Amino acid sequence: MTSVKTNELLQKGRAAKAAARRLAYLSTEVKDRALEGIARGLLERRDAILAANARDMAAGRAEGLSDALLDRLLLDEQRLAGMASDVRAVAALPDPVGEVFDMRTLPNGLVVGRRRVPLGVIGTVYESRPNVTVDISVLCLKSGNAVVLRGGKEARHSNGALAALVREQAAAAGVPADAVQFIESTDRAVVDQMLKLKDCIDLLVPRGGSGLIEHVRDHAAMPVVAGGIGVCHTYVDRAAKLGDAVRIVYNAKVQRPTVCNALDTILVHREVAGAFLPAAGAELAKAGVELHCDAASLTILKSASGGPGARLRPAVQEDWGKEFLALVAAVKVVDSLDEALQHIERYGSGHSEAIVTEDYSAAMRFLAEVDAAAVFVNASTRFTDGSQFGLGAEVGISTQKMHARGPLGLREMTSYKWIIMGRGHVRP
């Protein structure tokens, strides 16, 4: 069994590597034509894709997947339309490959610049969300990279249908057919094989839970760009507009609680806690959010008491720094901006952090001092997203500092080479 699977992976990895060299020189026109075909196909083949997804959903329910996982797995017309729109947004972006930047003439007359080039073959191991198959494929194609996709078992029918669409449309547009490789096997052993395939895969981007990401980071033989674990705080400063604060906190927690940029902990300045918490608590209760409160916030929320369904619990130590991925948030009252910054430094995962304030200096300090991939003033952390940031889509969200940080778009899937033009120049 394993040897068959190893062979599938090896064969597809080598095919991707061979395709990568040709992909690097593909014209923008051909690449954009492929993307347009994929966008069109997502809408035209809606029924087949949704049928494949329904099989995954049924299997997932039968296996007792959590609501969070089922929500990640689900495709519907709206999500397919969103995917197609993201593909068109990527097609509309400039081709990063071949861009020359930092070009200048040195005092000795040498002309020196940098020219953007693809990375080669991107490998990705991902869980549940089937849109990842399309997002990563189109970003890799447009940035001239080949890709080896290894999706999760739960989404195998959805991913298979989407990958088949991508490969067909790519080939129809004139892209080498081997540029996008989809690994059929859902055997866990394939992931470990993939981690060793450094001759075929230049960069690995794992997307999924912390277990998967840590496993990949610890065992991959090739470079890894990883992140995705989001322990996200929103700090309501004493100078916050409280109406904005309630809307931002509500949006960050409720709009899609199962994703990494959703709010996990509310920090609120003591001076406004008495006004903010009851208002926020009432709104969050409407959505069924459970609040794990420190002593001060619990007292305030209890005495303000109960909109219907307001579920309060005393916070335990494990609530700080926890990624809930559910309609649960931790709440803590702080005495100062400094205390909020220290809490975020200690418990944040370096993903997305927000302050709500009208105080200019507090906003500037928060932007300067918080060490995270995305730092927000007066906006919901839910905006940390390649599509929302204008990158069309994302290969992943990096919480590391090396290579790229935050949403990985087209430019983040490239490297550069120095180009130097002389007229017989020799070094003195």
**Count of chain residues binding a second copy (CB under 8 A):** 65
Answer for which of 132, 203, 300, 341 binds a second copy (CB under 8 A) is 203
Burial class of 179 by CB neighbour count within 10 A (0 to 12, 13 to 18, 19+): buried
CB closer to a second copy, 112 vs 164: 112
Binding window for a second copy (CB under 8 A); candidates: 66-74, 76-84, 329-337, 386-394: 386-394
Binding window for a second copy (CB under 8 A); candidates: 36-44, 60-68, 71-79, 402-410: 402-410
Answer for which of 120, 144, 208, 257 binds a second copy (CB under 8 A) is 120
Q: Using the rule CB under 8 A, is 223 a contact of a second copy?
A: yes
Packing angle between helix 156-173 and helix 131-142, nearest 10 degrees?
A: 30
Residues 279 and 242: beta-carbon distance below 8 Å: yes
Burial class of 225 by CB neighbour count within 10 A (0 to 12, 13 to 18, 19+): buried
Alpha helical stretches, state H, 269-336: 270-286, 295-304
Burial class of 416 by CB neighbour count within 10 A (0 to 12, 13 to 18, 19+): middle
- CA–CA gap between residue 322 and residue 265 (Å, rounded): 8
Q: Using the rule CB under 8 A, is 346 a contact of a second copy?
A: no
Answer for which of 19, 26, 74, 119 binds a second copy (CB under 8 A) is 119
Residues 252 and 285: beta-carbon distance below 8 Å: no
Q: Using the rule CB under 8 A, is 55 a contact of a second copy?
A: no
Answer for which of 4, 58, 92, 110 binds a second copy (CB under 8 A) is 110
Closest distance between a second copy and the C-beta of residue 296, in Å? 26
Q: How many CA atoms lie within 13 A of 28 on its CB side?
A: 11
Closest distance between a second copy and the C-beta of residue 247, in Å? 5
Q: Using the rule CB under 8 A, is 416 a contact of a second copy?
A: yes
Closest distance between a second copy and the C-beta of residue 311, in Å? 23
Answer for which of 115, 153, 270, 311 binds a second copy (CB under 8 A) is 115
Q: Using the rule CB under 8 A, is 248 a contact of a second copy?
A: yes
Q: Using the rule CB under 8 A, is 101 a contact of a second copy?
A: no
CB closer to a second copy, 58 vs 106: 106
Beta pairing partners, 81: none
Please give the backbone phi and psi of residue 295, each rounded to the nearest 5 degrees, phi first: -60, -45
Q: Using the rule CB under 8 A, is 388 a contact of a second copy?
A: yes
Distances (CA, A) of 262 to 46, 137, 228, 258, 405: 29, 25, 11, 7, 18
Answer for which of 25, 48, 92, 214 binds a second copy (CB under 8 A) is 25
Q: Using the rule CB under 8 A, is 103 a contact of a second copy?
A: no
Q: Using the rule CB under 8 A, is 373 a contact of a second copy?
A: yes
- CA–CA gap between residue 122 and residue 118 (Å, rounded): 10
Residues 6+ apart with CB under 8 A from 80: 42, 43, 46, 49, 50
Answer for which of 244, 283, 290, 294 binds a second copy (CB under 8 A) is 244
Q: Using the rule CB under 8 A, is 384 a contact of a second copy?
A: yes
Residues 390 and 410: beta-carbon distance below 8 Å: no
Chain residues binding a second copy by CB under 8 A are: 25, 98, 104, 106, 110, 112, 114-115, 117, 119-120, 202-203, 223, 225, 241, 243-244, 247-248, 250-252, 255, 363, 367-380, 382-384, 388-390, 400-403, 405-407, 415-427
